[in-house]
Amino acid sequence: MSIRWITPLLGTAPALLVRQEVGMNIIDVRDLVDKSGNRADAVRQKITQGCESLREGRKTVVCCDYGISRSNAVAVGILAMYESISFEASVRRVLEATGEKEIKVDPLQAVRSALGEDQKKIHHGKFRILMTGGNGFLGEPIKQKLSADFEVFSPGRSELDIQQGSTQLNLVVGEKNIDCIIHLANPRIYTSNIALGDTLTMLRNVLDVCVARDIKLIYLSSWEVYSGYRSSHLVADESLPLFPKGPYAETKYLCEILIEHSRRTQELRCTMLRSSPVYGVGSDKPKFIYNFINKIKQSQRIVTHRYNNGLPSLDLLYVDDLVEAVSLVVSSDFSGNLNIGTGVVNSTYKMAEILRDLLGGRNEIDTTRIDSDTACIAIDAGKAQKVLGWQAKIGLENGFRLILSYSDTAIFD
């Protein structure tokens, strides 16, 4: 790799591949580490050395082992100090000039500290929130609810792809002066084995920024972290050990472990909500609800399942109730885990009956046997009620009325 010039006089390169020319000054940053722990005074010394070299009109090359992370991070500091530009503007200049998409957060954070940027917090009139995945079924109503009281920024995937690294997220958080991140984003297909790795990568990038910037994270987990239990009726509060089953459940489980590790080792501030299954206008999930609606409208026989341990039953939560929980968390100082649900489970057979009655149908409802067991989890939200004053307000029948009012003329595939 040859020298990658950021300006006509400032570049970065791998130390072993640089031939020193007459009048060239090499800033060797290999004595810094490519992780957390670099002292601000040591980094500032490198930045000052680089600025002095530029003022002398000398070609200045910052070198580390590979010419990617430490060298680019220190070059950010040199450029920001020498040209008196913002840290974020300098990062963008370095990325554009070098063609890199990522500079590790830890070395960059050391540069921010050396420049005194981590002490600059511009206070705005409103609390500022960045949402990932803000254009989805959950993101849209959460954004609408929070926008009344807070400034909410919700860049789309084309604007901010957190799967590609933490640098772009870190820049946006700095430029927008973000106080809190609500992380909703998932891979487009989120139930596969491939999605497991992608989901963890996205979360790790968010965690890196939250820790580096010391901002609060709100993360939505799922009742599925309990889905391995095969009791005919189990009430899950926050003390119940996690027991996932299946790729999506195991992904959420591993995300929770990663968050807990960051809490213990890096003082992450995070509120994690474990929600029961969410339904409502704007989503076609759970699929069986809309299958039932179609069959009722078309006067077809409805067939539900019967497992070895009974009828499949769910604690369904209407989306507006989850939105309210998120809103309360944003306004709260609470950090920790909260289970969010109605505490009431209904079988799919019972749901078919409710929908049939609401639509005035006369359909036959039957069951077919499935040779397996199913989870039946009621979510105990007692802690959420205690610390947030939250409880579910929309019962199943009223929730069904709401989606039926929307789907009155719709047929769902």
- 242: number of Cβ within 10 Å: 17
For 40: left if phi > 0, alpha if psi spans -120 to 50, otherwise beta; the answer is alpha
| Mean pLDDT value across residues 196-219 | 96
Query: What is the structure's pLDDT at 406?
Result: 83
Q: Please report, for residues 108, 258, 394, the alpha-carbon distance to residue 35 in angstroms, rounded to integers and kept in the order given.
A: 9, 18, 48
Tell me whether the omega of the peptide bond preceding residue 286 falls within 30 degrees of 0, making it cis. yes
Query: What is the structure's pLDDT at 413?
Result: 41
For 299: left if phi > 0, alpha if psi spans -120 to 50, otherwise beta; the answer is left
Cα angle 285, 286, 291; round to 5: 95
Q: Would you state the torsion angle of the CA atoms of residues 147, 150, 153, 154, taken in this order, to the nearest 10 degrees? A: -40
Q: Are 54 and 78 in contact (CB under 8 A)?
A: yes
Q: Are 309 and 374 in contact (CB under 8 A)?
A: yes
| Mean pLDDT value across residues 109-114 | 94
Per CATH, 4-119 and 128-406 having the same topology is answered: no
Q: Which positions ≥6 away from 172 have C-beta within 8 Å?
A: 130, 153, 155, 160, 178
Rg (CA), the chain: 26
Domain 128-406, classified CATH 3.40.50.720, yes or no: yes
Query: What is the structure's pLDDT at 147?
Result: 95
Q: Are 327 and 261 in contact (CB under 8 A)?
A: no
**Fold classification of 4-119 (topology level):** Protein-Tyrosine Phosphatase; Chain A (3.90.190)
Q: Please report, for residues 228, 316, 368, the alpha-carbon distance to residue 231 in angstroms, rounded to integers and kept in the order given.
A: 9, 18, 20
Q: Would you state the torsion angle of the CA atoms of residues 395, 270, 248, 312, taken in this order, to the nearest 10 degrees? A: -30
What is the distance between the alpha carbons of residues 274 and 252, in angstroms, rounded to a whole number? 10
- If DSSP codes are grouped into helix, strand and coil, which group holds residue 126? coil
Q: Tell me: the pLDDT tens digits for 276-306?
A: 999 999 999 999 999 999 999 999 999 999 9
Please tell me the pTM assigned to this model: 0.91
What is the distance between the alpha carbons of residues 304 and 312, in angstroms, rounded to a whole number? 9
Residue 94: its H or E element = helix 87-98
Q: Tell me: the pLDDT tens digits for 253-269?
A: 999 999 999 999 999 99
Helices and strands of the chain, counted as H and E runs: 13, 18
Q: Which positions ≥6 away from 236 have C-beta within 8 Å?
A: 223, 226, 339, 377, 378, 379, 380
- If DSSP codes are grouped into helix, strand and coil, which group holds residue 362? coil
Reference 383, options 325, 314, 319, 321; nearest CA is 325
Q: Which positions ≥6 away from 395 have C-beta within 8 Å?
A: 342, 344
Q: Beta strands of 32-84 (E only): which ranges?
A: 59-64
Q: Please report, for residues 17, 21, 292, the alpha-carbon distance to residue 4 in angstroms, rounded to integers and kept in the order given.
A: 12, 15, 61
Q: What does the block give as tokens for 402?
A: 């709401």
| Segments making up each domain of the chain, as ranges | 4-119, 128-406
pLDDT at 411 over 70: no
Query: What is the structure's pLDDT at 119?
Result: 62
Q: Tell me: the pLDDT tens digits for 230-250?
A: 887 899 999 999 999 999 999
Q: Which residues pair with 284 in a beta bridge?
A: none
Reference 108, options 84, 78, 72; nearest CA is 72
pLDDT at 46 over 70: yes
- 343: number of Cβ within 10 Å: 17
DSSP state of 246: S
**Residue 121's pLDDT band (cuts 50, 70, 90):** low
Q: Are 201 and 252 in contact (CB under 8 A)?
A: no
Minimum mean pLDDT range among 276-280, 292-296, 338-342, 372-376: 372-376
Query: What is the structure's pLDDT at 322?
Result: 98
